[in-house]
A and B are shown apart, each in its own frame.
Chain A
Amino acid sequence: MANDEYLLRMVDVEKTFPGVRALKGVNLNVKRGEVHALCGENGAGKSTLMKCLIGIQPVTSGEIIFDGKSISHYNTADALNMGISMIHQELSPVEYRPIMENIWLGREPVGKFGLVDHKKMYEDSKEVLKQIDLDIDPKTLMVNLTVAQMQMVEIAKAVSYNAKLIIMDEPSSSLTEREEQQLFTIIRRLKAEGRSIIYISHRLEEIFEVADTVTVFRDGTNVGTAAVKDITTEQLIAMMVGRPMDDMFPKIDTDKEGIVLKVEHLSHHKYFKNVSFEVRKGEILGFAGLVGAGRTEVMETIFGIRPHTEGQIYLHGKPVEIHNPGEAINMGISFLTEDRRGTGIFPLLSIDTNIAIPNYDKYLTKLGLVDQKAVDEACAKYVEAIEIKTPSLKQKIMNLSGGNQQKVLLARWLMTEPDVLILDEPTRGIDVGAKAEIYQLMSELASQGKCIIMVSSELPEVIGMSDRIVVMHEGKITGILENGPDITQEVLMRYATGTDDDF
């Protein structure tokens, strides 16, 4: 069957994790010598599918046929030997070792006495690097390479394994435009050699430039495959977002009076440029955009986590300088970060400590000691009000579900009594029920006169909850839109991909 038109066929692949069906019967067919793009929202199942393909995780059911053979029960090393390589989005080279040792890591050529044959390793590396036109001495340390060059080395490694299929996960996300063109040149060359490429990307222009076929993922399944030359940008966007809106979003009409936070020409040397917007009392301002558009970085800057190079922040009309989160909190700004585990919870500590940590100043006895009784009472009030499901305040937060952890963090920030509440991906990784409760809470807070900034990559959420929507693309604001019936996911996607730009 080696003359099969398809190098890879994945048939009805399902993958379930405890409580989640991540892949619901995916079919993917990749021809020999084609560049096959995968696109879709975060969490649509692309990464899970690739993890199954390269042997990090076994599939729950379904069949994978590679190069005419049905394959199952293999690990990543087996996958490499069969000819499946993956260039991960986050590269993890052994930084202080030379290129050649990175390429042959784990299978170093050895000489007579079982010692590493450095000469052969060097010559072989040169040969592989030549194949992809990379002119660097194989003895160069990885740490001295640019990200693009490291990526090239990864590709060289794939070539050295004689890979028939190379998976690239958002390879262009940290490349400059010139480097991107180099990457495309190499991709075309690999293709000409008869290798197949699976190219995962959010950027539509790229897909149109380099891919032959595109498959769109949504909610754990493939919703459509098309030859790139046969479809338009509009059709592709429609395929990506074509999901009916649920009525999960309980919007309450609020009076929006008085600008609370105003940002003018805020710039960062790396992440964003010339960002200006304002939020009014009682307003929910959505921030849409693709991953890496710089939305989180803008919020981190407002909150004093990152310094800005230019621009001015105004609170209640007065210019302010915020140097660290402590100052931001004192000025009435709160920030629910997107990375709940990394920058949110204190996993080992109890719920009350997790809620009270920025708030202890309010609950002190005359001696300056913490008034634990007052803290517990205050925390209990929030636990009840926002329905955090826990047997006790003393429970360690790591024992709660994701949704309840998120609610604890919300309680933490509400207790600081902020005027401006910044929520970064507030519903990421939590179940539908908890999502609906958080939306409800957001609406109530807005109706109480708080202003809320919500950064979200989920378009239905942005459209469902926001009064106005700021869309960013590659560090710049491309649109500030009044929400209404004419604001559809397609419209936002055009701004998010930079197809439309009002500025």
Chain B
Amino acid sequence: MKAKEILSKYGIVLVLVIMVALLCIVSPNFRKPANLMNVLLQACIFGILALGMTLVIIGKGTDLAVGSTLALCAVICASFGQKATASGKIFPNMPELPIIVPILIALIVGVAVGLVNGAFIAFTGIPAFIATLGMQTIARGFALLYSGGKPVSSLIPAFKTIGSGRVFGFLPVPVLIYIICIAVTWVLLNNTRFGKRVYAIGGNMQAAEVSGINVKKMILLINAYMGLLAGVAAVVFVGRTQSAHPGAATGYELTAIASTTIGGTSQSGGIGTVWGAVVGALIFSVLRNGMTILGIDAYWQQIVEGFVVIIGVVIDMRKNARKA
């Protein structure tokens, strides 16, 4: 009974471990430390998005706009981080700025987009699905408009440090940023009033209102946090690619939602964990990396990923149904 409980709660971790173990056995290339670190590195960007998505979905929302929010943050961020000598600059006369400026700007843009999403949902009462579906196109449009449809590149060297630097000689900076985001989100969700209220409004919105929770404010804050993480992910993205393409990160929202869902966060709200989102993101990263190393056709990879999401959720729902 006890073992069964643990299995149903942490089964997804077991799946990850088995996947990694199998791949390590069958593929010498997979088990190389450099590749394993690569798996982590590849998980960072949508992993960070999945953390915010976890909060959003626990609070009975969704965010279909994070991919294009990331792109918008990225092009604006990059435009403030171009070298003085870069050609075709967005701000031709702007001197080189310290790295903190583009970073802060990315975060501010992210939060602003999140607040707009939240405001539409909270004050007009339209479903989050619709509000963020609209924002998906709007943010993408602004990104294209801002950059003139061209990639923003020729960035100051500090971005290289963010993208490929290492701390203590082994830990890639993006992974460090991911770990920090995990820790902050963890504390936020488990140890603050805010976190308790996220679960409450997702679990029973009317009861939350009666309990004195300002539900509208909560929706604003939750979406703002999602936006903040989209800004963080954008900075990592710019660092990794050394440029910002306005068409980048298409479909990232789906990977983020899928990671969250695989990790056990319920689409009906009120249930979900930070570690689930991390494990979910890692499963996706391992899956992609492993399939590539095994030489599986990229088109087949997509098909497999789709099935993994569906099967994962079917198993999760059965688990919950049995309990009820």
Contact = CB atoms under 8 A, between A and B. Distances in A.
Contact of A346 (B192, B195, B207, B324): B207
Interface in A288-307: 303, 305
Interface string B193-232: 1011101100110111111111000000000000000000
B196 A356 contact: yes
Contacts of B199: 346, 348-349, 353
Question: Which of B187, B204, B213 neighbours the largest number of chain A CB atoms within 10 Å of its CB?
Answer: B204
A337 B196 contact: no
Nearest to B187: A369
Question: Which of A348, A353, A412 neighbours the largest number of chain B CB atoms within 10 Å of its CB?
Answer: A348
A324 B216 CA distance: 12
Contact of A337 (B210, B213, B324): B210
- Interface residue tally on B, bucketed by range: 20 to 34
A398 B324 CA distance: 9
A53 interface: no
Contacts of A348: 199, 203, 270-271
A346 B269 CA distance: 11
Interface stretch (A228-236, A325-333, A431-439, A456-464): A325-333
Contacts, number: 78
Contacts of B210: 303, 305, 325, 335, 337, 343-344
A305 B212 CA distance: 10
B93 interface: no
B321 to A, nearest CB: 13
Contacts of A56: none
B212 A358 contact: yes
A214 B193 CA distance: 55
B191 interface: yes
Interface of A: 303, 305, 324-326, 328-330, 335, 337, 342-349, 353, 356-358, 360-361, 364, 368-370, 372, 398, 412
Given A324-B214, A369-B187, 10 more contacts: A325-B211, A326-B213, A342-B207, A346-B203, A347-B204, A357-B208, A357-B213, A369-B191, A370-B195, A372-B191
A370 to B, nearest CB: 5
Contact of B209 (A325, A345, A349, A360): A325
B113 to A, nearest CB: 27
Contact of A344 (B196, B207, B271): B207
Contacts of B213: 326, 357-358
A405 to B, nearest CB: 12
Interface of B: 187, 191-193, 195-197, 199-200, 203-204, 206-214, 270-271, 324
A92 B285 CA distance: 48
Contact of B207 (A303, A326, A330, A345): A345
Contact of B211 (A358, A369, A398): A358
A412 B192 contact: no
A325 B210 CA distance: 6
A328 B213 CA distance: 11
Given A356-B196, A357-B196, A329 B212 contact: yes
A325 B193 CA distance: 17
A305 B213 CA distance: 12
20 contacts: A324-B212, A325-B212, A328-B212, A329-B212, A343-B206, A343-B210, A344-B210, A346-B208, A347-B204, A349-B203, A353-B200, A356-B196, A357-B197, A358-B211, A360-B193, A364-B193, A369-B192, A370-B193, A370-B195, A370-B196
B193 A346 contact: no
Question: Which of B192, B196, B209 neighbours the largest number of chain A CB atoms within 10 Å of its CB?
Answer: B196
A372 B211 CA distance: 19
Contacts of A353: 196, 199-200
Contacts of A344: 204, 207, 210
B271 to A, nearest CB: 6
Contacts of A368: 192
A307 to B, nearest CB: 14
Contact of B203 (A330, A347, A358, A360): A347
A353 B208 CA distance: 12
A110 to B, nearest CB: 36
Nearest to B193: A360
Nearest to A365: B191
B6 to A, nearest CB: 15
Question: Which of A328, A357, A368 neighbours the largest number of chain B CB atoms within 10 Å of its CB?
Answer: A357
A142 to B, nearest CB: 23
Contacts of A346: 199-200, 203-204, 207-208, 270
Q: Which 4 residue pairs are nearest across A and B when measured between Cβ atoms?
A: A326-B212, A346-B203, A360-B193, A329-B212
Contacts of B200: 346, 349, 353, 357
A316 B93 CA distance: 66
Nearest to B320: A348
A398 B207 CA distance: 14
A342 B270 contact: no
Contacts of B191: 369-370, 372
Contacts of B271: 348
A356 B187 CA distance: 18
A369 B190 CA distance: 9
Contacts of A328: 212
A358 B208 CA distance: 9
Contact of B196 (A324, A330, A342, A360): A360
